[in-house]
Amino acid sequence: MFGVVPKSIWNKLNPSDENNLCSWAMRCLLIEDGNRLILVDNGIGNKQDERFLRHYYLHGDDSLEKSIARHGFGFNDITDVFLTHLHFDHCGGSIVRQGNKLVPAFKNATYWSNLRHWKWATEPNEREKASFLKENILPIEESGQLKFVEPTDGIAFSDNVSVRFVNGHTEAMMLPQISYKGRTVVFMADLVPAACQIPIAYVMAYDMFPLTTMQEKKSFLTEALENNYILFFEHDLEMECCTLQKTDRGIRQHETFTVSSI
């Protein structure tokens, strides 16, 4: 998760256990925008077998279904499932097992990807193919519920959501940028998975093109600082959102809070 940064440095930020593992979140975002209820990403899901899941030591009592229910909704209320990218920890909840069949978990929703990334995921390279699981991806297309966002940076997705495209982590990853209560909230996906990865050099070994990620991070963080954007973190265990500040070590986190407190 920290790439070439030495453990003697990163372990101070996110201490590992005796197995050299750190705890991370799979935090999704539910957006009410007019008559649309948009779910951004949906975690790892629960259809994988024990052999697969035991590598990840899933723990805790949270679930996507319970989290959505806390806000008064159910899976059938979701109108749009926005998939930042198709790695299993971001789209695994898209599909569930129903007997011997694999079917959409959100039967009334349109699932959104983009053609560049869909092709990248369905014709995967050797390094990345373990993250693109056919059972998470192909049933979406087979269901007829799949649509593609035009891969144009800044394109509108809904009244208050536009799309940013980045390519360092994987081809054509989508970051929703949300106008909310006069502020701009950007869902960071795997461009900046957690606040401890804000420093430019903290680039995951999972990234296909680390130098591209570094360039994209530097450009985005400069823009975010200048415009006082709120960063929403998908993988930070403790921190949901933060703003940025300029320090003598570069751009770093400033205020931390939850979306509900905005």
| CATH classification at residue 102 | 3.60.15.10
**Parent domain of 243:** 7-261
Q: Which pLDDT value is given to residue 105?
A: 97
Q: Is residue 60's pLDDT more than 90?
A: no
Answer whether 186's CB lies under 8 Å from 232's CB: yes
Could you give the CA distance from residue 80 to residue 83 in angstroms, rounded to a whole number? 10
Could you give the CA distance from residue 6 to residue 20 in angstroms, rounded to a whole number? 13
Torsion of CA 39, 71, 57, 21, to 10 degrees: 80
Answer whether 207's CB lies under 8 Å from 200's CB: no
Q: Which pLDDT value is given to residue 13?
A: 86
How many percent of the chain have pLDDT more than 70? 100
Kindly report, residue by residue over 192-223, the tens digit of the pLDDT: 999 999 999 999 999 999 999 999 999 999 99
Q: Is residue 34's pLDDT more than 90?
A: yes
Chain Cα centroid distance, residue 49: 23
Q: Is residue 53's pLDDT more than 90?
A: no
Torsion of CA 151, 252, 245, 26, to 10 degrees: 50
Taking residues 152-173, report their average pLDDT.
98
Residue 44 within a domain: yes
Residue 165 within a domain: yes
Q: Which pLDDT value is given to residue 66?
A: 95
Q: Which pLDDT value is given to residue 5?
A: 93
Residue 132 within a domain: yes
Confidence of residue 143 (pLDDT cuts 50, 70, 90): very high
Residue 1 within a domain: no
Number of domains in the chain: 1
Residue 183 within a domain: yes
Could you give the CA distance from residue 151 to residue 167 in angstroms, rounded to a whole number? 11
The CA distances from residue 258 to 93, 112, 225, 238, 250, in Å, are 23, 26, 18, 10, 24
The CA radius of gyration of the chain, in Å to the nearest whole number, is 18
Q: Is residue 58's pLDDT more than 90?
A: no
Residue 143 within a domain: yes
Q: Which pLDDT value is given to residue 194?
A: 97
Confidence of residue 233 (pLDDT cuts 50, 70, 90): very high
Residue 2 within a domain: no
